[in-house]
A and B are shown apart, each in its own frame.
Chain A
Amino acid sequence: MTLTSYFMEATYLVASILFIFALKGMSHPETARRGMFLAEGGMFAAIVGTLIGAHIVTWVWIIAGLAVGSILGAWMAIWVPMTAMPQRTALSHAFGALAAALVGIGEFVVHGQEMSAVTRGALGFEIMLGSLTTTGSLIAAGKLQGIIYGKPVQFRGQNIVNLGTFLVMVGCAAFFWMHPDASTVFYSMLGVAFVFGVLLVIPIGSADMPVVMSLLNSYAGLASAATGFVLGNNVLIIAGTLDGFSGFILSVLMCKAMNRSITNVLFGGFGAVVAESAAQTGGVMREITLDDAAMQLAFASRVVFVPGYGLATAQAQHAVRELAELLEGRGVTVKYAIHPVAGRMPGHMNVLLAEANVPYSSLYEMEQINPEFPSTDVAVVIGANDVVNPDARDNPKSLIAGMPILEVDRAKSVIVLKRGQGRGFSGLENPLFFKTCTSMLYGDAKSSLSHLAQAVQHV
């Protein structure tokens, strides 16, 4: 080994340690930013180390790639609105996975003949995970952006087709493992993996996106880790594994928050089933006027806001903060209740409310806020549906039976802000809307909230 190679390895070690410190910093909002600076330093060191130590001779492609990537990356970092965070994250899973897959193809092109069996095995994983994550994430991003129809796409025998595709993909990988010179099989594996990624995500409905996002995150990370095995590079293994496990932990948390298993999310096609098993609640939804709602809020002593995906679509995060500040000015205690799967990705609501300048000490997790609902005067549900559906708790026949919910129906009164009388994404009837303590305020969440704020000022 030459001196420059030692230097390169040293930068990799430093980068690995700094990455772990960065994630440790993430345990608290106060330390998170400092942690990220460490990670950025680690990344920079590793890049410089590579450029010095890896016997680079052709600079033109590198400079072009770094320049184009930096411009696009910076553009994304600056311009992407917080409401578009789920689709941008899905897109970045796709980019990360694509990079891993391409490095794998490149390794095959350059060293294909002289690879050991172990390396070929790792390469198979890298290519499969990398390619299926690329197309799967692109589909997810398309659904979130609304370019692709968000409802689950299903057809007869879908699970059999998916299983068949999966087996063909794994079969190709196994054949390639045994026959290193079978480049046709290698490229077939690549193609089938791309197709499998699409098949995997199209049957999944928008409401299940938090799980899918976390899973894709996990796959993208594991693809990077597999790249590390192929290249014999430890910092890639470490960073990829951290990413992979982070995604895995998040998937488990999201599944728990919906009381479903990962297999059920992937193969269940939730939301396409019309909820006939749900109890026919019937009854009338009681509408409330703006002035009455404002009156209720203004004279309450404890108010809890419950945001859902509707808050994001209506971009109502600033409007809700303005209303909350007016109420606080009148001496009302205001809290926000955040369900783990509210929105389209883990932590979606927290980011939106933080953007609107809501202090994080006002944001409460489900376990913290649930005991407080009985002493809450008004719970305001903004574009949330399934996460406040009491059927999950009360009706064992319901499709979402057993899913932990925010128990807003225990509050003294509930105001539901909703676009129209229709059902939510899951297509389930929500008995909360028919309760006597509940009143409905129809209309776009953003304008409803700002009108409420005006009305509260005049009380």
Chain B
Amino acid sequence: MIPAVLIASVYVFALAAFLGYQVISRVPPLLHTPLMSATNAISGISLIGSLVLAGAKGYPLPAHILGFVAVTTATINVVGGFGLTDRMLKMFKSRTAKKEEAK
């Protein structure tokens, strides 16, 4: 990694940390479990690294196999994480929404 790229990456890291702090400290305790589940699904983005490992040109077989396992576990997190988060968030309803549903 050349120094210029490293510095750019550190910028990205620092800005993401700052932004993350700002955004996440506004999440109410009510939604902390879905938050954990959602950030988990989002960090399943490491799937894209796994995809490269599993299928890129010129990689040896052991790398493909490691990649396959990584793709599997990351996909479980992406699909399971988003699915569960949505299932949880669907359950959070205000009082008025509940009354309308009952009608």
Contact = CB atoms under 8 A, between A and B. Distances in A.
Query: Do the two chains bind?
Result: yes
B43 A243 contact: yes
Given A29-B94, A76-B76, A350-B31, A224 B46 contact: yes
Interface stretch (A104-112, A170-178, A201-209, A387-395): A104-112
A217 B36 contact: yes
Contacts of B33: 85, 89, 345-348, 350-351
Interface in B11-33: 12-13, 16-17, 19-21, 23-33
B95 A102 contact: no
Contacts of A233: 48-49
A147 interface: no
A39 to B, nearest CB: 6
A109 B66 contact: yes
A222 to B, nearest CB: 9
Contacts of A167: none
Given A74-B79, A354-B88, A23 B94 contact: no
A293 interface: no
Contacts of A357: 91, 93, 98
Interface of A: 12, 15, 19-20, 22-24, 26-30, 32-33, 36, 39-40, 43, 46-47, 50-51, 54-59, 61-62, 64-66, 68-70, 72-74, 76-78, 80, 82, 85, 88-89, 92-93, 95-96, 98-100, 102-103, 105-107, 109-110, 116, 118-119, 213-214, 217, 220-221, 224-225, 227-229, 231-247, 249-250, 253, 338, 340, 345-348, 350-351, 354-355, 357, 359-363, 365
Given A61-B65, A246-B36, A350-B30, A72 B70 contact: no
B74 A69 contact: yes
Nearest to B40: A92
A61 B64 contact: yes
16 contacts: A24-B26, A54-B48, A55-B56, A56-B51, A58-B56, A74-B79, A89-B37, A95-B76, A103-B50, A220-B43, A227-B46, A233-B48, A241-B20, A246-B35, A347-B35, A365-B28
A62 B57 contact: no
B77 A61 contact: no
Contact of B36 (A61, A76, A213): A213
Contact of A249 (B25, B53, B78, B86): B25
A26 B34 contact: yes
Contacts of A22: 38, 42
B55 A347 contact: no
Interface residues of B, number: 85
A50 B54 contact: no
Chain A facing B: main interface SS? helix
B50 A110 contact: no
A95 B73 contact: yes
Interface string B68-86: 1111111111111111111
A14 B4 CA distance: 23
A361 B94 CA distance: 6
Contact of A26 (B31, B46, B48): B31
Interface of B: 1-2, 5-6, 9, 12-13, 16-17, 19-21, 23-57, 59-60, 62-95, 97-98
A74 B78 CA distance: 10
A55 B84 CA distance: 32
Contacts of B86: 33, 36
Nearest to A218: B39
Among B21, B67, B79, max chain A CB count under 10 A is at B79
Contact of B89 (A32, A92, A234): A32
A28 B27 CA distance: 7
A26 B35 CA distance: 7
Given A70-B75, A109-B66, A96 B29 contact: no
Contact of B30 (A23, A98, A347): A347
Contacts of A106: 53, 59, 62-63, 66-67, 70
Contact of A246 (B6, B24, B82): B24
A315 B95 CA distance: 23
Contacts of A338: 29
A32 B94 contact: no
Contact of B71 (A55, A62, A235): A62
A366 B84 CA distance: 27
Nearest to B24: A246
Contact of A96 (B27, B46, B63): B46
Contact of A239 (B45, B63, B83): B45
